[in-house]
Amino acid sequence: MVLLEEPIKSSVTLRNYVNGEWVEAETNVWRQIVNPATQKVIGRVPISGSGDLEKAVEAAAEAYPEWRRTPPLTRARHLYRLKNLMEEHFEELSRVCVMEHGKVIDEARGETRRAIENIEVACGIPSLMMGYNLEDIAKDIDEYVIRQPLGVFACIAPFNFPLMVPLWFMPYAVATGNTYIIKPSPWTPLSQTKIMELIDEAGFPPGVVNMIHGDAEVVDVILKHSQIKGVSFVGSTPIGRDVIYKQAAAHGKRVQAQCGAKNFIVVMPDTVIDQTVSSIITSFFGSTGQRCLSGANLVVVGKDDSYHQRILEKIVDSARRIRIGYGLDEATQMGPMQSEDRKKRVVGYIEKGIEEGARIVEDGRDFSVMGEYPDNCFIGATIFDEVTPDMTIAREEIFGPVMCVIRTQDLDEAIEMINKSNYGNAATIFTSNGRIARKFQYEVECGNIGINIGIAAPMAFFPFSGMKDSFFGDLHGQGLEAIRFFTESKVVIQRWF
Q: Which span (115-123, 139-147, 254-262, 267-275) binds ligand NAD, by CB under 6 A?
A: 254-262
The answer for 261, left when phi > 0, alpha when psi is -120 to 50, beta otherwise, is beta
Q: Does residue 261 interact with ligand NAD by CB under 6 A? A: yes
Q: Which span (59-67, 139-147, 179-187, 321-329) binds ligand NAD, by CB under 6 A?
A: 179-187
CB 254 within 8 A of CB 230: yes
Q: CA 47 → CA 25, 27, 56, 218, distances in Å?
A: 8, 7, 15, 8
DSSP-assigned letters across all residues of 264-313: EEEE-TTS-HHHHHHHHHHHHHGGGG-STT-EEEEEEESS-HHHHHHHHH
Q: Does residue 236 interact with ligand NAD by CB under 6 A? A: yes
Q: Does residue 397 interact with ligand NAD by CB under 6 A? A: yes
Q: Does residue 159 interact with ligand NAD by CB under 6 A? A: yes
Q: Does residue 235 interact with ligand NAD by CB under 6 A? A: yes
Which of 47, 57, 208, 234 is close enough to bind ligand NAD by CB under 6 A? 234
Residue 446: active-site member: no
CB 245 within 8 A of CB 472: yes
DSSP-assigned letters across all residues of 379-424: ---EEEES--TTSHHHHS---SSEEEEEEESSHHHHHHHHHHSSEE
CB 299 within 8 A of CB 266: yes
Question: Which residues partner with 449 through β-bridges?
Answer: 427
Q: CA 20 → CA 59, 208, 211, distances in Å?
A: 9, 8, 10
Q: Which of 391, 415, 408 is nearest to 307 (CA)?
A: 408
Q: Does residue 278 interact with ligand NAD by CB under 6 A? A: no
**Interface residues for ligand NAD in 464-493 (CB under 6 A)?**
464, 466, 470
Which of 162, 186, 353, 389 is close enough to bind ligand NAD by CB under 6 A? 186
Backbone phi and psi for residue 163, each to the nearest 5 degrees, phi listed first: -90, -45
Q: Does residue 284 interact with ligand NAD by CB under 6 A? A: no
Q: Does residue 158 interact with ligand NAD by CB under 6 A? A: yes
Q: Does residue 401 interact with ligand NAD by CB under 6 A? A: no
What is the dihedral angle through the alpha carbons of 240, 244, 250, 255, rounded to the nearest 10 degrees? -80
Q: What minimum distance in Å lies between the beta carbon of 447 and ligand NAD?
A: 8
Q: Does residue 260 interact with ligand NAD by CB under 6 A? A: yes
Size of the site for ligand NAD (CB under 6 A): 28
Say which amino acid occupies 334.
Answer: M
DSSP class of residue 328? T
Q: Which span (105-113, 169-177, 215-223, 374-382) binds ligand NAD, by CB under 6 A?
A: 215-223
Q: Is 337 exposed, middle or buried (0-12, 13-18, 19+ CB in 10 A)?
A: buried
The residue from 292, 377, 404, 446 that is catalytic is 292
CA 222, CA 182: separation in Å to the nearest integer? 10
Closer residue to ligand NAD (CB): 112 or 470: 470
Closer residue to ligand NAD (CB): 84 or 236: 236
CB 46 within 8 A of CB 18: no
Q: Which span (133-141, 213-221, 280-288, 486-494) binds ligand NAD, by CB under 6 A?
A: 213-221
Which of 116, 243, 248, 411 is close enough to bind ligand NAD by CB under 6 A? 243
Which of 38, 160, 178, 283 is close enough to bind ligand NAD by CB under 6 A? 160
Q: Does residue 259 interact with ligand NAD by CB under 6 A? A: yes
Q: Does residue 384 interact with ligand NAD by CB under 6 A? A: no
Q: What minimum distance in Å lies between the beta carbon of 169 and ligand NAD?
A: 11
Q: Does residue 450 interact with ligand NAD by CB under 6 A? A: no
Q: Does residue 79 interact with ligand NAD by CB under 6 A? A: no
Q: Which span (117-125, 126-134, 154-162, 438-446) binds ligand NAD, by CB under 6 A?
A: 154-162
3-state secondary structure of 32: strand
Residues that bind ligand NAD (CB under 6 A): 156-161, 183, 185-186, 215-216, 219, 234-236, 239, 243, 258-261, 292, 397, 399, 425, 464, 466, 470
Q: Which residues are catalytic?
A: 292
